[in-house]
Amino acid sequence: MTAPAGAPPLAPTTLDLIGNTPLVRLAGPSAAAGCDIFGKCEFANPGASVKDRAALWIVRDAEARGSLRPGGTIVEGTAGNTGIGLALVANALGYKSVIVMPETQSREKMDTLRALGAELVLVPAAPFSNPGHFVHTSRRLAEETPGAVWANQFDNVANRRAHIESTAPEIWEQMEHRIDGFTCSVGTGGTLAGVGLGLKAFDESVTIALTDPHGAALYSWYAEGELRSEGTSVAEGIGQGRVTANLEGAPIDTQFRISDEEGLEWVARLLQEEGLCTGLSTGINVAGAVALGRQLVAQGKADARVATILCDTGFRYLSSLYNAEWLAAKGLPVFPWLAQ
């Protein structure tokens, strides 16, 4: 029996399941923007987030450089999706993974990484200037461990290459070479810079926008050339205070600043109206895409087409974003269906 036309091709290995994610038109955001808004379904990766791509490219890059050899170890300081992606890629290729994280992180995250087989190293929470900070600890640990490499996701540009070489061409094809704008938020900047550079290489006129949460310093950097943060955000995985190596030379045309409340409103609407359960960075991205769509329409592009990233699954946040007490304790609106 042959596969029906349009079915995804057979994957020769599990690593081939990373990327080639679906792109979906989002009805509510499109209606709100007055033009077409599309979401790249990165929750459909094996590790359920956009970071699987960075993990795979970082590991392949280390292999190509000869710094990662059979039986070697991948070390990273991260509590989140990158650790999950690295642990899965390491398993698939026969490497060990060591993830360093502050002991203040949620039990859920520790349990998840342990469940995947990563070795967890917990360190006390410390400011970045302290040599005991989890990022510095992970670098030292990689240096001291024979056969280990440090993933260094913030400043290792293999991260953004994942998006130049995979995410951007996929979006370009899926949108049938007609795209007017792209926006997303920044953790390392790999996604925004990589998709931005990749799409501009196909069509220089695509508007690339930063969508920044409150508490991050990049909105003011791109607006005024000054790193300055205002407010706070509970969004995980995004909110950057410096220009990482991945962000250097990113072709940013415009920028939006989105509050957690706006992001949460889209998280709620995507779930209730469209049946998509996502994390808060996705809600913030969608709010940014709506803002960009409206701006393009106002500039005379009535049929503008805008894409953004649906970064990870909401199932990762059951004890936070989808928990009434947690939301209330943070002073955030509780989703009506949780309030009973």
| Binding stretches for ligand PMP (CB under 6 A) | 49-51, 80-81, 185-191, 236-238, 279, 281, 311-312
- C-beta nearest to ligand PMP: residue: 237
The distance of closest approach from Cβ of residue 189 to ligand PMP in the complex, given in angstroms and rounded to an integer, is 5
SS3 258: strand
Cα gap 126→73, rounded to integer Å: 25
**For residues 128 and 147, which CB has a smaller minimum distance to ligand PMP in the complex?**
128
Note if 51 is an active site residue: yes
The distance of closest approach from Cβ of residue 150 to ligand PMP in the complex, given in angstroms and rounded to an integer, is 16
What is the DSSP annotation of 140-181? HHHHHSTTEEE--TTT-THHHHHIIIIIHHHHHHHTTT---E
Cα gap 33→220, rounded to integer Å: 24
Token code pair at residue 106: 């949620």
**For residues 279 and 288, which CB has a smaller minimum distance to ligand PMP in the complex?**
279
**For residues 39 and 279, which CB has a smaller minimum distance to ligand PMP in the complex?**
279
Residue 101: count of CB within 10 angstroms of its CB: 24
The distance of closest approach from Cβ of residue 311 to ligand PMP in the complex, given in angstroms and rounded to an integer, is 3
The distance of closest approach from Cβ of residue 246 to ligand PMP in the complex, given in angstroms and rounded to an integer, is 7
Classify residue 14 as left (phi > 0), alpha (psi -120 to 50) or beta: alpha
Start-to-end Cα distance in the chain: 50
The per-residue b/e assignment along 178-214, b for 16 or more CB within 10 angstroms, e otherwise, is ebbbbbbbbbbbbbbbbbbbbbbeeeeebbbbbbbbb
The distance of closest approach from Cβ of residue 281 to ligand PMP in the complex, given in angstroms and rounded to an integer, is 3
Cα gap 56→166, rounded to integer Å: 11
Please identify which of the residues 40, 51, 96, 200 carries the catalytic annotation. Answer: 51
Pairing of strands 148-150, 73-77: parallel
**For residues 181 and 279, which CB has a smaller minimum distance to ligand PMP in the complex?**
279
**For residues 45 and 49, which CB has a smaller minimum distance to ligand PMP in the complex?**
49
Q: What residues are labeled active site?
A: 51
